[in-house]
Amino acid sequence: MQVESVSSVVKRNLELLKTLDDAWNAGPSSSLWETFRKRHTENVAVYWPGGAPPTVGRHNHDLEAVEFFKTFPDNHLINNPYKIFFGQGDYTCTVADFSGTMHGPMKEADGKMIQPTHKKFHIEFCTVAHWNDKGEIFEERLFYDLVGLMKQIGLS
């Protein structure tokens, strides 16, 4: 009986993650964007490559995501199907191809603006999400080749 209950939680969380990524692909101007927001707790911690400490809070994560879309408006996560898609307990893990083009400026950590290069990137992207019992992510770890992405868009 307990195994059944665990697998139903994993199944639910995987389905919720798929809808989160579908909302990501639709973008911040879409009516689906609220799904992206709702999948994260108010005090979510999001760990990005090269980004220590983590981004804390749904609002701050949303602001980061919107800025990412300003820089890479055509970005797309290929999640139908994912390359890897599984869960265990209250964790999910996905790996997908991720691509986009740098059509907007990018703000560096020191505030300096990098002008658009109009070059494309294509990388693998991994999300490890830790879910609460309400079906919300409270900790999210994002892994991708940041150096490779920067090289592909002409920044190194």
CATH number at residue 121: 3.10.450.50
- Write down the pTM of the prediction: 0.92
Q: What is the longest distance spanned by two Cα atoms in the chain?
A: 57
**Number of domains within the chain:** 1
On the question of pLDDT at 4 being above 70, the answer is no
Give the model's confidence band at 6: pLDDT under 50 very low, under 70 low, under 90 confident, else very high.
low
E-only strand ranges, the chain: 40-48, 51-56, 76-78, 84-88, 91-101, 106-107, 113-114, 120-131, 137-144
Domain region containing 15: 2-152
Residue % of the chain over a pLDDT of 70: 96
What is the average pLDDT across 46-54? 88
Structure confidence by residue, pLDDT tens digits, 63-83:
999 999 999 999 999 999 999
